[in-house]
């Protein structure tokens, strides 16, 4: 099957995996962190009072205080599963010769758990560090979330030598709008955000991610 695009960038939470809207929220809920402090940091970030780095660091402090370990974080993902048809979708795009990438504000541990990092040519995502006993000891935040996801599309296209017009992006929520406005083709998969629905070229609804394939091949 011939391809219409050379690179497809995916959001993770709510797009390639289901059972969560944002994995950070799922983890905070599982570890019972202080909802007030968590909400204040989120509000402060979206109001521009703190940086993404400060928001990320704050999240790690809350999870660290709740004794988050790698093992306990993986256990907290038990209600999460790949979107039906996701593996087949990725394999089909790969067979058609397309590059695959992740641009996500989720966490590397989650991607590893369900798809493996090797399934993608480029991965822009938050990374967590654990010590030898599996305790959460720090991490490295992504530079490409929310308003910077569009810059992530440009960055990956540059790294892979792909014309931006030949890039596609698939996401589900308000934090995907900048990427949707940047990619040559943007698809909202079961969108949860009116703003995203208005920003994209195509909307695909349904239980199976393979619904996006006719737009890409
Ligand atoms: Mg999402």
CA of 52 to the centre of ligand 1 (A): 17
Centre of ligand 1 to C-alpha 15, Å, is 6
pLDDT of residue 99: 98
Distance 57 CA to ligand 1 centre (A): 21
Q: What crossing angle do the helices spanning 35-46 and 52-65 adopt, rounded to 10°?
A: 170
**CA 135 – ligand 1 centroid, Å:** 27
pLDDT in tens, 2-32: 899 999 999 999 999 999 999 999 999 999 9
* Domain 7-20+80-216 -> CATH class: alpha beta
Residue 171 Cα to ligand 1 midpoint, Å, equals: 6
Domain ranges within the chain, ordered by starting residue: 7-20+80-216, 24-75
Could you tell me the distance, in angstroms and rounded to a whole number, from the CA of residue 195 to the centre of ligand 1?
13
| Chain segment 36-71, per-residue pLDDT in tens | 999 999 999 999 999 999 999 999 999 999 999 999
- Quote the ligand 1 centre to 20 CA distance (angstroms): 9
Distance 1 CA to ligand 1 centre (A): 28
Residue 12 near residue 106 (C-beta atoms within 8 A): yes
Task: Please give the distance, rounded to the nearest whole angstrom, from the Cα atom of residue 24 to the centre of ligand 1.
Answer: 11
pLDDT for residue 2: 87
- Lookup: tokens for 162: 């792909």
Query: From ligand 1's centre to the CA of 132, what distance in Å?
Result: 31
Phi, psi (rounded to 5 degrees) for 204: -120, 125
Rounded mean pLDDT, 132-161: 96
Rg, C-alpha atoms of the chain: 17
- What pLDDT score was predicted for residue 1? 72
Note the pLDDT of residue 90. Answer: 97
Give yes or no for a contact between 94 and 115, defined as CB atoms under 8 angstroms apart: no
Exposed (0-12), middle (13-18) or buried (19+): which is 36, by Cβ within 10 Å? exposed
What would the pLDDT profile of 77-111 be if each residue is shown by its tens digit?
A: 999 999 999 999 999 999 999 999 999 999 999 99
Distance 131 CA to ligand 1 centre (A): 29
Whether the per-residue pLDDT at 117 is higher than 90: the answer is no
167-189: pLDDT as tens digits: 999 999 999 999 999 999 999 99
* Protein residues with C-beta less than 5 angstroms from the ion ligand 1: 11, 13-14, 172-173
């Amino acid at each position: 099957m011939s391809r219409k695009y050379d690179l497809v960038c995916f959001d993770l939470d709510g797009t390639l995996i289901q059972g969560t809207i944002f994995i950070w929220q799922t983890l905070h809920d599982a570890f019972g962190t202080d909802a007030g402090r968590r909400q204040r940091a989120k509000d402060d970030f979206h109001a521009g009072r703190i940086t993404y780095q400060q928001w990320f660091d704050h999240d790690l402090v809350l999870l660290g205080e709740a004794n988050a370990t790698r093992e306990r974080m993986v256990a907290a993902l038990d209600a999460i599963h790949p979107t039906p048809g996701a593996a087949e979708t990725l394999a089909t795009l790969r067979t058609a010769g397309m590059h695959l990438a992740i641009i996500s504000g989720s966490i590397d541990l989650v991607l590893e758990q369900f798809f493996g990092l090797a399934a993608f040519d480029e991965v822009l995502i938050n990374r967590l560090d654990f010590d030898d006993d599996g305790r959460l000891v720090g991490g490295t935040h992504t530079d490409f979330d929310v308003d910077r996801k569009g810059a992530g599309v440009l960055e990956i296209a540059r790294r892979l030598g792909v014309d931006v017009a030949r890039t596609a992006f698939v996401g589900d929520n308000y934090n995907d709008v900048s990427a949707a406005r940047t990619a040559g083709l943007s698809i909202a998969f079961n969108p949860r955000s009116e703003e995203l629905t208005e920003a994209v070229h195509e909307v695909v609804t349904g239980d199976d991610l393979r619904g996006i394939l006719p737009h890409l091949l």
